[in-house]
Structure 1
Amino acid sequence: MKNLSNNTQAMLFGLGAVLLWSTVATAFSISLKYLSPTQLLIVANLVSLLFLVSLILFKGEFTQLITIAKQSWKSSLFFGAINPFIYYLILLQAYNILPAQEAQAINYTWAIVLSFMAVPILKQRLKVADYIAAGACYFGVLYISTRGQISTLEFSNILGVAFALLSTVIWACYWLFNTKDKRPSLIGLTLNFAFALPLILIYAGLTGELTHWDTRGVVGAIYIGLFEMGLSFILWNKAMKLTSNTSQIANLIFLAPLLSMIWLSQIANEPILSSTLVGLACILSGLFIQNWAKRKAP
């Protein structure tokens, strides 16, 4: 890749990350047939932690990792409790209850939640485009949740929808708090997974989920830990550092849910509902409006 320009390399790294993210819903769907959300999270968290620590050893930053761990153990515990512990437990519950296509589509509204929560926390202002985007996104959520039966408001599974929406709030909170995190990004992420692991194990012990494992779900959990929680972060981070046009790379995100529908139908054998496609189109339209407005802003 040495002969390629930085922007071309950034595009390739970004596409690699998006391609990996697009397979996550399928991996969740298959693995949750055999493992509980907590069991899946244990394996994925452990695999991701091993991958990130290996990367830090390769970069010769292990001493720095230990030093920062001692200095910032409270913040590491705080961030680790939010993500991956609470966030993924809630998100995986949504995937466990809802069809993966619905949980994934609703989860994409986290960017709208982020904009609105940034008002009281970061003192940012909302624009007209933010309200329009929110209206489009949540109309899409309503359409998906009722499977097109908006007039009757008959929700397919209100608990699953609640979990999916709650995951967007937790993810938005994580990123808002993350703006004040002074730790280097890779080391910070590694410490989050390190401090979250005992919390997940304690929770699994209290809920009796450390026994009765179905090994058929382990391969999928390893895949999630290695690619969704580990390698995709590295690829995306690399893309954002190399590019001179951040918006161009950020727009690649719109490919992920569309590719995901293909993998879900072809690999997980999940029939794609027309209501999901209509709702997802509304959500992506809302996100596009929001991104377009940000690019036009001075």
Structure 2
Amino acid sequence: MNRTSLILALSVVLMWSTVATAFKLTLALISPLQMLWIAVATTFVILCAATIWQKKTALARQYLRESPGYFLLLALLNPTLYYLILFAAYDRLPAQQAQALNYTWAVVLSILAVPFLGQKFTLKNLISILLAYGGVVVIATQGNLLALDFKNPLGVALALSSSLFFAGYWILNTRKPQDAVVSLLLCFGLSLPILSVLMLLQGYLTAIPWQAVAGGIYIGTFEMGFAFLLWMQAMRMADNTAQLSNLVYLSPPLSLLLLATIADEPVMISTIVGLGLIIGGVLLQQLKRRC
């Protein structure tokens, strides 16, 4: 594996390992909408700088002029709806559960690819779905499978539904490939006024504690902005993108450790088991068929 791409990918993994803790600490101070608004504004500034640095501002104007409705739809899916719903899930669930359930988006993507991208539904798809959603049940019931006692059904529903919006975003991207940096810039740029209107309607445009502002900026920088840019660069330089993608699954164990030490959230055995099943289902999707 290319050494530079490996270093970049591992740097992103470390960034993503910290954000569940940042989500939880920041949500203790402000609402999910406020946190997302700060994060998206931060990411937009970073992406603007990257677009100017790469001399792609003309391309951004061209994309927006040619397909305004398309990019508005992308912006509604991600970051607007995806992160709003995901952060609402983090607000209701232990961060370890919300993070684990969020990984189901890759399985949802494989399901949506059948009707929207014309891909075949295989036995591998079925097994991966059963594994992943078996993990969901373990996490949602905190291991109490026989009773099927869901501890926070709304939080679980929010975490799972967020995966629909993220998978839908990637389906649309696949159908109409664009420059990744410019596409992200337009999505975050169009999302910001939508979130600002929501903030105004909810009466959230008030003084926000500096600790919460710092948390939102951290999330916009390391969950979204720099993380996205570094990951795209790592993927471009990689000799084997599948191997590089698998490094993402180093993030959850590190995240659980940080949640336990910084956010004082004890790690549940049911979360570890459920996360293992979900990741197993996702990794199964990435296995190539034998000839």
CA shift at 1:215, angstroms?
2.8
Q: Does 1:57 align with 2:40?
A: no
Superposed, 1:79-94 pairs within 5 Å as 79-94=74-89
- Looking at structure 2, the residues matched to 275 and 287 of structure 1 have their Cα atoms a distance apart, in angstroms, of 18
- The letter for the 1-side match of 2:32 is P
- Match among 218, 222, 225 for residue 223 of structure 1: 218
- Looking at structure 2, the residues matched to 96 and 297 of structure 1 have their Cα atoms a distance apart, in angstroms, of 43
In the alignment, what sits opposite 1:155?
Answer: 150
CA shift at 1:297, angstroms?
4.7
- Looking at structure 2, the residues matched to 42 and 154 of structure 1 have their Cα atoms a distance apart, in angstroms, of 35
Superposed, 1:194-233 pairs within 5 Å as 194-211=189-206, 213-233=208-228
Which structure 1 residue ranges, 5 or more long, are not aligned?
1-5
- Looking at structure 2, the residues matched to 180 and 286 of structure 1 have their Cα atoms a distance apart, in angstroms, of 24
Change (3 A) 1:65 1:121: same
In the alignment, what sits opposite 1:286?
Answer: 281
- Looking at structure 1, the residues matched to 116 and 108 of structure 2 have their Cα atoms a distance apart, in angstroms, of 12
Change (3 A) 1:133 1:17: same
Scaled by the length of structure 2, what TM-score is found? Answer: 0.96
Superposed, 1:128-207 pairs within 5 Å as 128-207=123-202
Identity percentage of aligned residues: 41
**How many residue pairs get matched?**
291
CA shift at 1:182, angstroms?
4.1
- Match among 106, 125, 138 for residue 101 of structure 2: 106
Scaled by the length of structure 1, what TM-score is found? Answer: 0.94
CA shift at 1:136, angstroms?
1.1
Q: Secondary structure at the match of 2:147?
A: coil
Q: Does 1:95 align with 2:74?
A: no
Q: After superposing the two structures, state which structure 1 stretch, 275-284 or 180-189, moved more.
A: 180-189
Q: Secondary structure at the match of 2:143?
A: coil
- Match among 199, 216, 236 for residue 241 of structure 1: 236
In the alignment, what sits opposite 1:251?
Answer: 246
1:160-207 CA distance string (max 9 Å, x none): 000000001111111001112343110110010001101011112222
- The letter for the 2-side match of 1:16 is S
- Looking at structure 2, the residues matched to 289 and 205 of structure 1 have their Cα atoms a distance apart, in angstroms, of 44
Q: After superposing the two structures, state which structure 1 stretch, 94-103 or 199-208, moved more.
A: 199-208
Q: Secondary structure at the match of 1:183?
A: coil
CA shift at 1:212, angstroms?
5.0
Q: After superposing the two structures, state which structure 1 stretch, 58-67 or 7-16, moved more.
A: 58-67
- Looking at structure 1, the residues matched to 65 and 290 of structure 2 have their Cα atoms a distance apart, in angstroms, of 41
Q: Secondary structure at the match of 2:228?
A: helix
- The letter for the 2-side match of 1:150 is L
CA shift at 1:129, angstroms?
1.6
Q: Secondary structure at the match of 1:179?
A: helix
Q: After superposing the two structures, state which structure 1 stretch, 238-247 or 208-217, moved more.
A: 208-217
- Looking at structure 2, the residues matched to 67 and 287 of structure 1 have their Cα atoms a distance apart, in angstroms, of 36
1:75-118 CA distance string (max 9 Å, x none): 22111111111111000000000010000000101111111111
- The letter for the 2-side match of 1:66 is R
- Looking at structure 2, the residues matched to 112 and 57 of structure 1 have their Cα atoms a distance apart, in angstroms, of 35
In the alignment, what sits opposite 1:3?
Answer: none
- Looking at structure 2, the residues matched to 19 and 73 of structure 1 have their Cα atoms a distance apart, in angstroms, of 35
Q: After superposing the two structures, state which structure 1 stretch, 206-215 or 156-165, moved more.
A: 206-215
Q: Does 1:273 align with 2:268?
A: yes
In the alignment, what sits opposite 2:62?
Answer: 67
Which structure 2 residue ranges, 5 or more long, are not aligned?
none
- Match among 10, 16, 25 for residue 21 of structure 1: 16
